[in-house]
Structure 1
């Protein structure tokens, strides 16, 4: 046995290790470590048995002498002999600091909150002091523990509703517990977000401190191409989450053919539609790899669309499932905006006529969102509809309206000016789209779908547990597992798991039927009809 703690800097890395066991008697060690906690509680420390192993089990051809020699030579290949002066300095530091009562026992912190629980992987022991109601280093709520309480309860509410298919009774019990717990759920103004990105991108040194989602949208070479697909755009504009060719209007015509300009004047349109999306000059030769210098054609093309006549169309969302090399709807129009900017007569065509994600979402110092008050309102509204929980004082209609208001106003955190929407437009939208009896759960979850644009993992999870929106895979889906018309139900395991966690990875694959199939649902996803 070689014991003690040690650190060294090797190849620009800090290496730390404690006790090394080569061929120890595990039963004797277990007995030695099984100390009554009460015997040493006054010293503020505990001795805890840990899962350990003998190195000889993994080095059967090496004895302890060889191992010692190897260990001594593996780092630098030579011994370091301290001088008498260095030894005196070490002894002085030992005696004056590391041998004192204050260092060993006297500075143990008194905690006013403590929780301990055993899990299969070991025991988790959490101790907390909330002196003055704040904590240093809190990057989300800046030390406001009351907001942490509300966030925790709201997160519990989210997870409770995650169980509506798997165990409706537990879902209700946990939802009520979350709502009634100390502190309650999130209130107006609460946003759980990480807002400390310093916008550092240095691949040469492996230094990345950016909003990763924004980086993906912007692309590695600063040539962004995130377009809104027809399902989302058509729901926000026409109130129907369908493909262009499947939307039928009152006169029997379809959106994908026989276009009429009045179709662009839908009373259902969400005021966020052309705030979340914009029509940028996609092939601008003057702004190559400079996304924030692209000319915005939205106002010009939008006004032509809603005030025009005949069958001319000036914008259309991208059909679902289309890759960049597939055929997209092709529109073409002249643009006075481009002519004024560059004194060039250029036809607007292709990508410029397809709604793209607003530049405000591409800024890599934008916050990362975990949960919002808007989401909490929608979850409460659904819980009220499903179970009429007495602790929820508001009606589903009031919670739905508040959720929509908060979701729209929430966008301003990305850009106060570019994403601001007048209250009058929000009121008009709610008046035209009230919560309707019989479709409440669908309407609530469609709003969650829009809200989670900047939280795609939660959008995916919420779709699986709610079934909304009603999605179908495109016929030309470029996927490995959806050839039978099924939508993905889970994320695939990272390839690295098969290398670094091979045993558990293989065991999980066997449970999935022998391959990492993303159409196999997770345990709480029990509805296979969508």
Structure 2
């Protein structure tokens, strides 16, 4: 009886195994396929599954839909450190990043945004498009570099080539800034090569409906990538001159060249959302004109002034800026100083004016194809004026002015904040190009005018100030860094965020070893040799 049951049981088990085997074989493809993967036929058609992630990446290079994030991602860092702006608000009783008491909860939004909304989206698109859709792959590469070079210019070492690669100890490695820049150049070169092949058939543009800047124009994306490559080449020109020349000349002499006219400016359309600076300035009253802007724009009688700021509430037709890093006892004291002019619903990240100034500097170093420094310098100013539809007659007067310089700064509420005439913090450079001037004087003219033209992108302006020392800015009056940051050398970077120390301690430890000093705001970045 037991033996018979054993035989019957064995037969039944064999039959079940055969049935299961057939069933498993029949369903093998569906069982072993990632339900979140994207099939080739799903990628085709409207390409929405790979286009939408890139839209989100673009909108988070400079956060447009969450003003509180943007305020910490850039406004209370680069926008202020660059000298463009200053807050009238005494945040944390004046102990905050502006007075060099770097707050952990102010330092993380730039990092978390890049790794929460840019890198994963770009990686997803690159993984799905590799070998299938080179144009989308190239587009993701350019967007990734646009975002991540800004992040590296804040912190230094970043997670780029090692992104999503987890070590045995559960850590993730950082690239040194030199390694990150090497990867940026390779990505840009690869992207330009790929997109160039599409130009002859540009009418069949697959990412047109997702492009918030160029309406799917391959040539403009190539020009942007070339301009970005030249920007980064000059960024490393003091740290690695030979590599800088190689990358810069490749960008300058590529078939389609650089951005050259304002209609090619790289602006991300965020309509119908208003520009975050409009909210921070007008609704929150947390930002105003910076004192260096008052000094230079008013000193030069710059016609771009009313396009950047509005007169103060305290004096008719007078523009007033706030000096960075001062003691503020009440928000009301400086709230009446000059607000920002209303910003359009677009995020400006790279312009033709900048491209001409980049060429002007490249010409100083005799880079192949860069042309004449004076000609490029004047074309940079012209492109900036044209961007705001300023008449040519005013441009001609401006570039030929050889008397006006930065004006002294006076704080009507506290004379301890004044920068008097003759101060070493006031530039003596006039606007007109001087052929026989020393190279450093020519460079100061170029960078000062680029600084004016790049407004309101304070992150880029802060990076260029650290690289070159120009334009001359005013040091903080109150320094709460405990000696970690020099008032006269200014803040050089932002420390790694506490989230990384908590979740990737071994990786951060190795990243700190790649710095030229401690993990603090006084340590210079790799390219920062000034």
Change (3 A) 1:396 1:500: same
Q: Which of residues 508, 511, 517 in structure 1 aligns to 2:511?
A: 508
Change (3 A) 1:407 1:500: farther
1:232 match? 293
**SS of residue matched to 1:454:** coil
Distance in structure 1 (CA, Å) of the matches to 2:287 and 2:331: 16
8 Å CA contact 1:149, 1:182 repeated in 2: no
CA deviations on 1:345-368 (whole Å, 9 max, x unpaired) are: xxxxx643x33322x12x6xx211
Asked if residue 355 in structure 1 is aligned to residue 358 in structure 2, the reply is: no
1:475 deviation in Å?
A: 3.0
- Give the drift of 1:190: 1.2
Distance in 2, matches of 1:110 and 1:458, equals 31
TM-score (norm 2): 0.54
More relative contact order, 1 or 2 (CA 8 Å, 6+ apart)? 2
1:144-159 alignment, distance < 5 Å: 144-159=217-232
Aligned 1:39-438 pairs, distance under 5 A: 130=198, 131-133=201-203, 134-136=205-207, 137-188=210-261, 189-199=263-273, 211-218=275-282, 222-238=283-299, 268-281=300-313, 301-302=316-317, 316-325=320-329, 351-352=335-336, 354-358=337-341, 360-361=342-343, 366-387=345-366, 389-393=367-371, 395-410=372-387, 412=388, 420-432=389-401, 433-436=431-434, 437-438=437-438
Note the residue ranges of structure 2 that are not aligned, 5 or more in a row: 1-27, 39-130, 142-159, 166-182, 402-430
Q: Which protein is bigger by CA-based radius of gyration?
A: 1
- 8 Å contact from structure 1 (residues 475, 485) kept in 2: no
Q: Distance in 1 between matches of 2:364 and 2:291?
A: 30
Partner in structure 2 of residue 87 of structure 1? none
Q: How many residue pairs align between the two structures?
A: 323
Verify the 8 A CA contact 2:515 2:525 in the aligned structure 1: no
Q: For the Cα contact (< 8 Å) 2:311–2:320, is it kept in 1?
A: no
Number of the residue aligned with 2:468: 466
Aligned-pair Cα RMSD in Å: 3.7
Q: Does 1:5 align with 2:3?
A: no
Aligned to 1:336: none
1:196, distance to aligned residue in structure 2 (A): 3.2
Report the secondary structure of 1:194's partner residue. strand
Q: 1:183, 1:457 → 2: CA distance?
A: 27
* CA distance 1:465–1:486, change in 2 (3 Å): closer
Once residues 276 and 495 of structure 2 are traced to their aligned partners in structure 1, the CA distance between those partners, rounded to angstroms, is 19
- Cα distance in 2 between the residues matched to 1:455 and 1:232: 13
Structure 1 position 109, deviation (Å)? 5.6
Is residue 482 from structure 1 mapped to residue 485 from structure 2 by the alignment?
yes
Shift of the alpha carbon at 1:391? 1.8
Residue 454 in structure 1 maps to residue 528 in structure 2:
no
Distance 2:286 2:134 in 1: 51
The whole-number CA distance in structure 1 between the counterparts of 2:391 and 2:348 is 23
Whole-angstrom distance in 2 between the partners of 1:176 and 1:141: 25
Contact 2:324 2:477 in 1 (8 A): no
SS at match of 1:375: helix
Distance 1:504 1:215, change over 3 A: farther
Residues 473 and 482, structure 1, Cα contact 8 Å, conserved in 2: no
Q: Structure 1 or 2: larger strand share? A: 1
- Aligned 8 A contact 2:492 2:525 in 1: yes
Partner Cα distance (2:135, 2:301) in 1:
53
Q: SS in structure 2 opposite 1:156?
A: helix
Q: Deviations 1:53-85 (Å, cap 9, x if unpaired)?
A: xxxxxxxxxxxxxxxxxxxxxxxxxxxxxxxxx
Q: Distance in 2 between matches of 1:114 and 1:272?
A: 38
